[in-house]
Structure 1
Amino acid sequence: MELTQQQKEAAFDEKADELGEALEEWYEEEAQAIDANIVEDAPSGTGGSIISKTPAIDSKRVLDASSVTSEILDIEIPPEIIKPGGYDSCDEMLDDLLPKLRDVYSGKRKVKKRKVEKEMIEV
């Protein structure tokens, strides 16, 4: 028996805290790994550093968080719900992604199936 949209939303809500904590942990690990590669004394000139002008986690990197959503929700993050350019903070990412993931999970928001998923379904 297929769950209703409301039942799926309720199921997501039950997992929301766990998902938020896991995504926050993922974000911190990713941001730390990026920061570790930045040279501390990189020249910034009078206009500031170019490093400070980029998002902490870019949109392509957010796709790597699908490992978290796959484990907790059994779905990957659809690329089309990620904010173009990425996120400057973990709070910004969570505020943007969690409502969108809830809509995808419940079926309220339709997303394109990835080619790999389509091929696996057809087999």
Structure 2
Amino acid sequence: MSADVEELRAEFKRKATLLVSELQAWFDEETATIDGTAPPAAPSGSGGSIVGMRPAIDSKRVVDASRVTRVVLEMELPPEIIKRGGYANCDEMISDLLPKLERVYTGELKVKKCRAVKVPEPA
């Protein structure tokens, strides 16, 4: 393993606390109800409900978390590292994405399109 990879890994670890915090805030915002009330309970009955089977957030919406990775890691969130179907909760999302993001950040995991983005400086 080259020194560059180790340096990038150390840099990622320094940014990881902020990344987790920002991803948690993003997840909470994305999964909150529009009017701020608790989501309705699943219909009762013996047939079950599709409502109880849905993930808290689907994989297509997780792509929007790129706004977090752009600011913290200065890179897009590669769609191919997101778990198909989405995540049942924030902990599951972070547990799945963090190791993959670290590997992409260090260059150990190659993705189709992961370019650095320039974060605009405050005016």
Report the TM-score range of the alignment, normalised by the length of the smaller protein.
0.7 to 0.9
Alignment partner, residue 60 of structure 1 = 60
**Higher relative helix content:** 1
Deviations 1:25-63 (A, max 9, x none): 101111113796997376443222211101001000000
Alignment partner, residue 82 of structure 2 = 82
Distance 2:105 2:28 in 1: 24
Alignment partner, residue 25 of structure 2 = 25
**Gap regions ≥5 residues in structure 2:** 116-123
Contact 1:83 1:96 in 2 (8 A): yes
Distance 1:6 1:110 in 2: 17
- The alpha-carbon distance between structure 1 residues 41 and 16, as it changes in their structure 2 partners (threshold 3 A), is closer
**Runs (4+) of structure 1 moved beyond 4 Å?**
34-39
Contact 2:65 2:77 in 1 (8 A): yes
Alignment partner, residue 11 of structure 2 = 11
- The alpha-carbon distance between structure 1 residues 68 and 39, as it changes in their structure 2 partners (threshold 3 A), is closer
Distance 1:56 1:28 in 2: 10
Contact 1:44 1:50 in 2 (8 A): no
RMSD: 2.4
- The alpha-carbon distance between structure 1 residues 30 and 24, as it changes in their structure 2 partners (threshold 3 A), is same
The share of aligned pairs that are identical, in percent, is: 53
Alignment partner, residue 94 of structure 1 = 94
Q: How many residue pairs end up in the alignment?
A: 113
TM-score by length of 2: 0.81
- The alpha-carbon distance between structure 1 residues 13 and 95, as it changes in their structure 2 partners (threshold 3 A), is same
TM-score by length of 1: 0.81
Code of the residue aligned with 1:53 in structure 2: it is M
Distance 1:34 1:48 in 2: 25
**Gap regions ≥5 residues in structure 1:** 118-123
